[in-house]
């Protein structure tokens, strides 16, 4: 699936199953909530916090993937609502980072 396909598929789902988009402000709040849920999974999988009920590695991977997909879903909704072409946006962002940071990370002794 391409990013363009993702934006189209989310838009179709919203218009046929979801009835309509939530407001941009509501979706921004939902995005923040979803990022928090992703952070919780990462802190319990890779950090010092523990799960209330121990999970298998496979269950942890499933939770991680599901939370990442939730973040991507809401971000895609916001892009659709505000007229952002995510394909163009990420291409432009990669170019910006490449120009700006082409030597930065190679010269970072913390990464060596």
Measured CA to CA, the distance from residue 89 to residue 93 in angstroms comes to 6
Domain ranges, ordered by start, for the chain: 3-85
| 20 DSSP 8-state letter | S
pLDDT at 49: 93
pLDDT at 27: 98
Walking along the chain (112 residues) 10 residues at a time, the average pLDDT comes out as 98 97 98 98 95 94 98 98 98 95 87 86
Residue range 3-85 forms a domain whose CATH class is mainly alpha
pTM for the whole structure: 0.91
Measured CA to CA, the distance from residue 63 to residue 28 in angstroms comes to 22
pLDDT at 111: 87
pLDDT at 68: 98
Exposure class string for 37-68: b at 16+ Cβ within 10 A, else e: ebeebbebbeeeeeeeeebeeeebeebbeebe
């Amino acid at each position: 699936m391409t990013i363009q396909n993702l934006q189209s598929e989310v838009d179709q789902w919203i218009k046929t199953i979801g009835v309509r988009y939530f407001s941009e402000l509501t979706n921004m709040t939902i995005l923040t909530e979803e990022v928090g849920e992703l952070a919780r999974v990462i802190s319990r999988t890779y950090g010092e916090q523990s799960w209330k009920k121990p999970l298998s590695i496979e269950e942890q991977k499933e939770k991680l993937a599901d939370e990442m997909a939730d973040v991507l879903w809401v971000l895609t909704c916001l892009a659709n609502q505000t007229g952002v072409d995510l394909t163009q946006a990420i291409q432009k962002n990669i170019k910006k980072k490449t120009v700006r940071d082409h030597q930065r990370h190679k010269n970072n002794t913390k990464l060596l």
